Amino acid sequence: MKTISLSDYQIYLGNIRTTLPPLLQAYAGHTIFILVDTHTALHCLPAVWECIPDNTPRHTISIPAGEQHKNIDTCATIWSALLRHEADRHTLLINLGGGVIGDMGGFCAATYKRGIDFIQIPTTLLAQVDASVGGKLGIDFGGIKNSIGAFRNPRAVCIDTDFLHTLDPRERLSGWAEVLKHALIADAGMWTKLLQDELPIDEVVYRSLQIKQGIVEADPYEKGIRKALNFGHTVGHAIEALLLDTPQPLRHGEAIAVGMIAEAYLSVQYAGLDALALEDLTKNILRYYALPKIATSHFDALIALMYNDKKNTRKDINFTLLKALGHAETDYHCSEKAIADSLSYYNQCLSKT
Ligand SMILES: NC(=O)c1ccc[n+]([C@@H]2O[C@H](COP(=O)([O-])OP(=O)(O)OC[C@H]3O[C@@H](n4cnc5c(N)ncnc54)[C@H](O)[C@@H]3O)[C@@H](O)[C@H]2O)c1
């Protein structure tokens, strides 16, 4: 088992049957609630169930899977279940699932009776390497992703990469984009090893978490260096939003993959990234993902979406760019022409594959 220590909680990386039982001892005699979605109820719940002592009262709260359920109505279902089963301030909520379960379950725990303990058990690669660090909780509201939420840390996070075996390959690749991003912003050596498929998955998750931990702890409330984690996300979020209600929406990580290519192009123009490094990055990202072309007629709408992103002002679009592979710098502002060129560059590269 490996551990990562954060300011007031730990991440345990290893078999859930080893990491979870000792944490549950603190809740002996109290009811344990487990929040699952339709898929994690099937694939992940049995292993967690085994970890709870026989005499411990427990309730499962099951919600439908998917981002469309990360909303206030589902929160009401969760809060109602907690109330109905008389959850009190000593109750523990275990959030067993991907980023949707972690964000929403954490938010419900943070607000129920002014806050009960929760343990995160992330079961997608995205949630393991990204959502498990940083204390960001929340739901979508008013048509805007994560517009209601809070920062609050869990009691602990237990990561077991065995859960990833049942994950849809497209979901796994979605998380892989965040793994690639962590390497690109902070660890050139890891980037090389990832491309050579040299690292076992536990190592990949562990190193990825270390990178995110280092950045989040230096800047918990996203005032400065934490923006490095936004590499690929300015363009990526806009593309994700643009395609959301189309017949072919992109997974978060797929949109970030497009965003990383476009923003690496901008990195050459603004931050001094070497043209060969851009080529390396583009070629290798396209190796993993089957991505769509972005019609030129959508460029203006994409740029408008970038201005509307909560991280930007009406005047400027903020970018994190790469000075080199493994080295990010924050707070660049790029012209609309350069952004459009970066999307054209992405399209041209797709045509060559
Ligand atoms: N808090 C943060 O810092 C943070 C960071 C990144 C993303 N997020 C949030 O995370 C969400 C996306 O997370 P996600 O990609 O994990 O999506 P998700 O939670 O919707 O999970 C994706 C799909 O995989 C299924 N699934 C989960 N674990 C499984 C398993 N082990 N086997 C089989 N199927 C499984 C889920 O049921 C779902 O259908 C978004 O809402 C995003 O805003 C939060």
Query: pLDDT tens, position by position, for the chain (353 residues)?
Result: 999 999 899 999 999 999 999 999 999 989 999 999 999 999 999 999 999 999 999 999 999 999 999 999 999 999 999 999 999 999 999 999 999 999 999 999 999 999 999 999 999 999 999 988 989 999 998 888 888 999 999 999 999 999 999 999 999 999 999 999 999 999 999 999 999 988 999 999 999 999 999 999 888 777 888 999 999 999 999 999 999 888 899 999 999 999 999 999 999 999 999 999 999 999 999 999 999 999 999 999 999 999 987 676 667 899 999 999 999 999 999 999 999 999 999 999 998 87
**Residues facing residue 329 across a β-bridge:** 321
Distance (Å, rounded) from C-alpha 15 to C-alpha 204?
16
| Known catalytic residue at 165 | no
- Our answer to whether residue 329 is catalytic in this structure is no
- Cα angle for residues 266, 272, 273 (degrees, 5° grid): 70
pLDDT of residue 305: 93
Report which residue type is found at 208.
S
Residue 188 CB contacts under 8 Å (≥ 6 apart), including other chains: 324, 325, 326, 327
Distance CA 264, CA 269 (A): 9
Residue 40: CB within 6 Å of ligand 1? yes
How many CB atoms are located within 10 Å of the residue 14 CB? 17
Cβ-count burial 243-273 (b if 16+ within 10 Å, e if not): beeeeeebbbbbbbbbbbbbbbbbbbbbbeb
HSE-CB of 119 using CA atoms within 13 angstroms:
24
The predicted pLDDT at position 168 comes to 96
Looking at residue 353, its pLDDT comes to 77
Which residue is catalytic, options 233, 251, 263, 329? Answer: 233
In ligand 1, the atom with minimum distance to the C-alpha of 44 is 31
Active-site residue flag, 30: no
C-alpha R_g of the chain: 20
Q: For residues 122 and 12, is the Cβ–Cβ distance under 8 A?
A: no
Indicate which residue's Cα is closest to atom 9 of ligand 1.
99
Ligand 1 in reach of 171 Cβ (< 6 A): yes
Ligand 1: which of 36, 126, 161, 181 to mutate, judged by most atoms within 8 Å of the beta carbon? Answer: 126
Residue nearest to atom 33 of ligand 1 (CA): 167
Q: What is the pLDDT at residue 313?
A: 62
**Active-site annotation holds for 69:** no
C-alpha to C-alpha distances, 230 to 35, 54, 164, 233, 332, nearest whole angstrom: 29, 44, 25, 5, 12
pLDDT at 308: 82
Residue 220 has a pLDDT of 79
123: burial class by Cβ within 10 Å (0-12, 13-18, 19+)? buried
The active-site residue, picked from 39, 70, 136, 251, is 136
Residue 96 has φ and ψ, to the nearest 5°, of: -110, 100
Nearest protein CA to atom 3 of ligand 1, as residue = 131
Q: Tell me, yes or no, if 178 is annotated catalytic.
A: yes
Q: Is 212 a catalytic residue?
A: yes
Longest CA–CA span in the chain (Å) reads: 65
Active-site annotation holder among 70, 155, 182, 237: 237
pLDDT at residue 331, as a whole number: 93
Any residues with CB less than 8 A from the CB of 301 and at least 6 apart, and which? 242
Task: Please indicate whether residue 233, judged by its CB atom, sits closer than 6 Å to ligand 1.
Answer: no
Q: Which of 171, 230, 254, 329 is catalytic?
A: 230
The pTM (predicted TM-score) of the whole model is 0.95
Assess whether the C-beta atom of 67 lies below 6 angstroms from ligand 1: yes
Q: How far apart are CA 113 and CA 121, in angstroms?
A: 22
* 222 catalytic per annotation: yes
Torsion sign (Cα): 30, 31, 37, 39:
positive
Strand 136-141 and strand 117-122: the pairing is unpaired
Q: What is the pLDDT of residue 283?
A: 96
